[in-house]
Amino acid sequence: MKIGFTKLEIIIVTTVLVVLGVILFPVFTHPRCTLSASTYCLGNQKQMALCVLFYAQDHEEVFPDSSKVWSDINVDKDFLTCRADRKLKNGYLYNNNLSGRSTDDFDSKQMKTTIITVDGVTKTEANRTLNNIYYTPSDVRFRHGGYAIASYLDGHAESVLKITEPASFDKLIPIKKPALAKKTGVKK
């Protein structure tokens, strides 16, 4: 009596494993790619927010002008590319309402809710004279699994949900993290 596998058994097992691998590979890689692009974009947005805030600090607490914000904050061109949409040279928008305004114009609540930069793209039109400037909520692109990444005046960045009604810049809805249940260890 021989101990071992026949060639036919090895071929069948190998074929089944290859087929399972081909079927399951895209399922496991897609969420990771989306998550890594979102994380990369979140980091970019945070850094851009800090660049804009540092600019304001160095220029008598006045935010950069919309017409030259991207050259004023002086970030690398590759830094402006969102990995979720690499075709765009600059996948981020600067809030037009901040152009030339003072940081003193905003109270602490507004600092937490007013967007500096957000995922999106703007095409130059009659009423929109500059590219990559956030004019309306329709300019936002929700390219991270239905979410967009935005940075705020207080320096934080987070994912935001799409909204259906036209709204001001501070009315995008942040993702609410689920509250963790307390574990008391007491049995009843």
Whole-angstrom Cα distance, residue 3 to residue 1?
Answer: 7
Tokens read off for 115: 């967007």
Note the maximum CA span of the chain: 90
Written as tens digits, the pLDDT of the chain (188 aa) is: 677 888 899 999 999 999 988 887 766 655 555 677 788 888 888 988 999 999 999 999 999 998 888 888 887 777 777 777 767 777 888 888 888 888 888 888 888 888 888 888 776 665 666 778 887 777 888 888 788 888 999 999 988 875 433 334 444 444 444 343 344 444 44
Whole-angstrom Cα distance, residue 109 to residue 176?
Answer: 17
Q: Which has the closest alpha carbon to 92: 133, 127, 56, 40?
A: 133
pTM of the prediction? Answer: 0.67
Q: What is the pLDDT of residue 177?
A: 40
One-letter amino acid at 101 equals R
Q: What is the pLDDT of residue 164?
A: 38
Whole-angstrom Cα distance, residue 52 to residue 106?
Answer: 15
- Polymer length of the chain: 188
Q: What are phi and psi of 131, to 5 degrees?
A: -80, 155
Alpha-carbon distance values, 66 to 8, 86, 99, 133, 181 (Å): 69, 23, 5, 7, 45
Name, in order, each residue with C-beta under 8 angstroms of 146's C-beta and a sequence gap of 6 or more: 161, 162
One-letter amino acid at 186 equals V
Other beta carbons within 10 Å of 173: 10
Q: What is the pLDDT of residue 179?
A: 41
Other beta carbons within 10 Å of 149: 28
